Chain A
Amino acid sequence: MQLIFEKSRKGRRAFRIPAVDVPVKAKLPSKYCRSNDALLAEVSELDLVRHFTNLSRLNFSVDTNFYPLGSCTMKYNPKFTEQIAGLEGFRELHPLFAQLDATVPYTQGALEVLFCAEQVLCEITGMTAFTTQPLAGAHGELTGAMIIAAYHRHKGNTPKYVIVPDSSHGTNPASAAIAGYEVMVIPTDKDGYMDMEAYKSKLGPESAAVMLTCPDTLGIFNPRIKEIADLAHKAGVLMYYDGANLNAVLGKVRPGDLGFDIVHLNLHKTFATPHGGGGPGAGPVGVTARLSEFLPVPRVIKKRDNTFALEYKFPHSIGPVAPFYGNFGVILKALAYIMLLGKTGLIEVSEIAVLNANYCLARLKDFYQVAYNKNRCMHECILSAVEQAKNGVRALDIAKYLIDKGFHPPTIYFPLIVKEALMIEPTETESKETLDSFIAVMIEIAKMSKTHPELVVNAPLCSPVKRLDETKAARELNLRWRPPLEKDG
């Protein structure tokens, strides 16, 4: 499709700026002014509407397609919660009003909502205190890693490493690095669990924390998780819970009860706020009592008179990690979702998410190699296309063929330790019919890889573009549009 800039015509307008209604006297000296206008698109409102409406139609989305992208929990996003975030009293509220709240209450409702969100997330995870500041999952991880660093500094410890399994998300080691840590990687054993002997050998004063996803990125719940936590605590090492996979265990297990000290949640995964093509997310962080003094400031507190206030006086706090109180609009949606579902609804979420994933596993295990446990998984199942790859059909090819059939592909080539990985997370909101039609295509691909591999390898054929040349994109960088040189000078 043409770029909006290519549709631009000089002088065309989509929006009228009000006339200046005040006397014009001063002029900004030219040395402070830009010499040329920014070459923004000049289009009519209809041009604009058509352009973006048509662009929107070139995407797969949860509202249009099954989207079993592993590790991302692409469940249905209820429309109602959008309406809540759009209430004028929230949407139009300047964040600095809260900091001027001391004598006149400008923001009591917003602060109360934040307080309630923190309380309910504490109960869901078994933590003592939460901050809503982190703006995404990885930002939560960084906040957690900063809390870990602050804790050890306070204790007079000088650990060097953060321990992560080799199946971890890339954000874990990347976040630990910004908090000043080196990373110690623990291999996965033949059953898909973290290798216990290797793990034990790394515990000690040199280690600050262990960052784990639970259930892990292989879709497996480690039954020895409590033992892992106990060993860490005995060695003075903190336990960090990456909440990417919380959708598997709502009401079934709480990180706090397992011995985790710090938790981050991805509200855009577990609590159904839309992913918005990559964001905004929200990554609130919860901690146990002994770490609460390190949480970011300001914190929302409830005063004796039942009013709410921002409190900055936590001398050991790591400081602010966001300009204000987090992605408030996202937090509103998540809280509204939790209130709609309630206790029973949340438990059902995990039960059906796990049922759906196991159903996919059970129906596909005879057609694809299963990365680890062939019989059970939690909320996602990790298959491997190694058998298909022998005939030239790789995980990437399967992904592209699925696009032709109207399904968003699973996550591929992650976790890194699984060859030709296909990570399928159906989520609880998908019906049996949808799963059945997806499974049918997956089986068709497995069969075709034996008989007509070329048909898979050539996919996609029905999408707006065919396979794109990523090597060209990386070698001959073209990261912005430039106007063509004018022909007549």
Chain B
Amino acid sequence: MSIPGNLLYTKDHEWVKIEGATAIIGISDHAQHALGDITFVELPKIGDRVVQGKHCATVESVKAASDVYAPFSGKVIKINTELLQHPELANQSPYSQGWFIAIEIDNIKEKDSLMLESEYVHYLTQLPS
């Protein structure tokens, strides 16, 4: 299971990469593995507002559907259109080509509720198998 060290994580298995005032968001390797072959991704529109902890995207596999929750509140400034055409990128490359959206962060303090790599690793071990 790959868990890069330069990212932050949520309990719902989203990852965030902070670049200045921008947060790039995707789902973790654990999440893509649990879902299986991803067949469809639904993303918000550029300009939409998302709220921390609330639904911002949807992923579907053959036998599951899952909501993606926004790790930060803010405005959507970019979406991965390539992912819409090729949802399998979320399986093949969850941390790079399979990114979901980028948002302009409202309040960087929201980062305090996110997990560091080490915390996320620990969190995963606590989950029921």
Q: Are A471 and B63 in contact (CB under 8 A)?
A: no
CB neighbours (8 Å) of B61 from chain A are 471, 474
Asked if B1 is at the interface (CB within 8 A of a chain A CB), the reply is: no
Q: Are B87 and A475 in contact (CB under 8 A)?
A: yes
* Per-position 1/0 for B38-64, Cβ under 8 A of A: 011000000000000000000011110
Complexed CA–CA distance, A474 and B40 (Å)? 8
Number of residues on chain B facing chain A (CB within 8 A): 9
* Per-position 1/0 for A464-489, Cβ under 8 A of B: 00000011001100000000000000
Complexed CA–CA distance, A470 and B60 (Å)? 13
Interface Cβ pair total, 8 Å cutoff: 15
Asked if A90 is at the interface (CB within 8 A of a chain B CB), the reply is: no
Closest A residue to B129 by beta carbon equals A419
Would you give the shortest CB distance from B91 to chain A, in whole angstroms?
10
Q: Are A413 and B62 in contact (CB under 8 A)?
A: no
CB neighbours (8 Å) of A470 from chain B are 62
CB neighbours (8 Å) of B62 from chain A are 470-471, 474
Complexed CA–CA distance, A118 and B40 (Å)? 45
Asked if B37 is at the interface (CB within 8 A of a chain A CB), the reply is: yes
Q: Are A413 and B63 in contact (CB under 8 A)?
A: yes
CB within 8 Å of A: which B4-30 residues? none
CB within 8 Å of B: which A97-120 residues? none
Complexed CA–CA distance, A471 and B37 (Å)? 7
CB neighbours (8 Å) of A413 from chain B are 63
CB neighbours (8 Å) of B87 from chain A are 475
Closest B residue to A475 by beta carbon equals B39
Closest A residue to B87 by beta carbon equals A475
CB neighbours (8 Å) of B88 from chain A are 475
Closest B residue to A474 by beta carbon equals B39
CB neighbours (8 Å) of B37 from chain A are 471
CB neighbours (8 Å) of A475 from chain B are 39-40, 87-88
Label chain B's interface by main secondary structure. loop
Complexed CA–CA distance, A474 and B59 (Å)? 13
Closest B residue to A470 by beta carbon equals B62
Complexed CA–CA distance, A413 and B36 (Å)? 15
* Per-position 1/0 for A41-84, Cβ under 8 A of B: 00000000000000000000000000000000000000000000
Would you give the shortest CB distance from A361 to chain B, in whole angstroms?
25
CB neighbours (8 Å) of B40 from chain A are 474-475
Complexed CA–CA distance, A413 and B87 (Å)? 24
Complexed CA–CA distance, A413 and B40 (Å)? 22
Complexed CA–CA distance, A455 and B22 (Å)? 51
Closest A residue to B62 by beta carbon equals A470
Would you give the shortest CB distance from B80 to chain A, in whole angstroms?
17
Would you give the shortest CB distance from B66 to chain A, in whole angstroms?
13
Would you give the shortest CB distance from B45 to chain A, in whole angstroms?
22
Complexed CA–CA distance, A302 and B60 (Å)? 52
Would you give the shortest CB distance from B129 to chain A, in whole angstroms?
9
CB within 8 Å of B: which A337-395 residues? none
Complexed CA–CA distance, A474 and B62 (Å)? 7
Would you give the shortest CB distance from A420 to chain B, in whole angstroms?
12
CB neighbours (8 Å) of A474 from chain B are 39-40, 60-62
Complexed CA–CA distance, A413 and B88 (Å)? 24
Complexed CA–CA distance, A470 and B64 (Å)? 12
Would you give the shortest CB distance from B67 to chain A, in whole angstroms?
15
Closest A residue to B39 by beta carbon equals A474
Closest A residue to B86 by beta carbon equals A475
* Per-position 1/0 for A407-435, Cβ under 8 A of B: 00000010000000000000000000000
Complexed CA–CA distance, A413 and B62 (Å)? 13
Would you give the shortest CB distance from B14 to chain A, in whole angstroms?
22
Complexed CA–CA distance, A474 and B88 (Å)? 12
Complexed CA–CA distance, A65 and B29 (Å)? 42
CB neighbours (8 Å) of B63 from chain A are 413
Complexed CA–CA distance, A413 and B37 (Å)? 17
* Per-position 1/0 for B85-126, Cβ under 8 A of A: 001100000000000000000000000000000000000000
CB neighbours (8 Å) of A471 from chain B are 37, 39, 61-62
Complexed CA–CA distance, A210 and B18 (Å)? 44
Closest A residue to B63 by beta carbon equals A413
CB neighbours (8 Å) of B60 from chain A are 474
Closest A residue to B88 by beta carbon equals A475
Closest A residue to B40 by beta carbon equals A474
Closest B residue to A386 by beta carbon equals B129
Complexed CA–CA distance, A438 and B102 (Å)? 54
Would you give the shortest CB distance from B89 to chain A, in whole angstroms?
12
Complexed CA–CA distance, A471 and B63 (Å)? 10
Closest A residue to B91 by beta carbon equals A471
Complexed CA–CA distance, A413 and B60 (Å)? 17
Complexed CA–CA distance, A422 and B63 (Å)? 16
Closest A residue to B37 by beta carbon equals A471
Would you give the shortest CB distance from B128 to chain A, in whole angstroms?
10
Would you give the shortest CB distance from A409 to chain B, in whole angstroms?
15
Complexed CA–CA distance, A470 and B62 (Å)? 7
Complexed CA–CA distance, A270 and B60 (Å)? 34
Closest B residue to A471 by beta carbon equals B37
Closest B residue to A476 by beta carbon equals B39
Complexed CA–CA distance, A475 and B37 (Å)? 10
Supplied contacts A471-B37, A474-B61, 13 more A-B pairs, CB within 8 Å: A413-B63, A470-B62, A471-B39, A471-B61, A471-B62, A474-B39, A474-B40, A474-B60, A474-B62, A475-B39, A475-B40, A475-B87, A475-B88
9 A-B residue pairings within 8 Å (CB atoms): A413-B63, A471-B37, A471-B39, A471-B62, A474-B39, A474-B40, A474-B60, A475-B40, A475-B87
A-B interface, 10 closest residue pairs, ranked by CB to CB distance from nearest: A474-B39, A471-B37, A470-B62, A475-B39, A474-B62, A471-B62, A471-B39, A475-B87, A474-B40, A413-B63
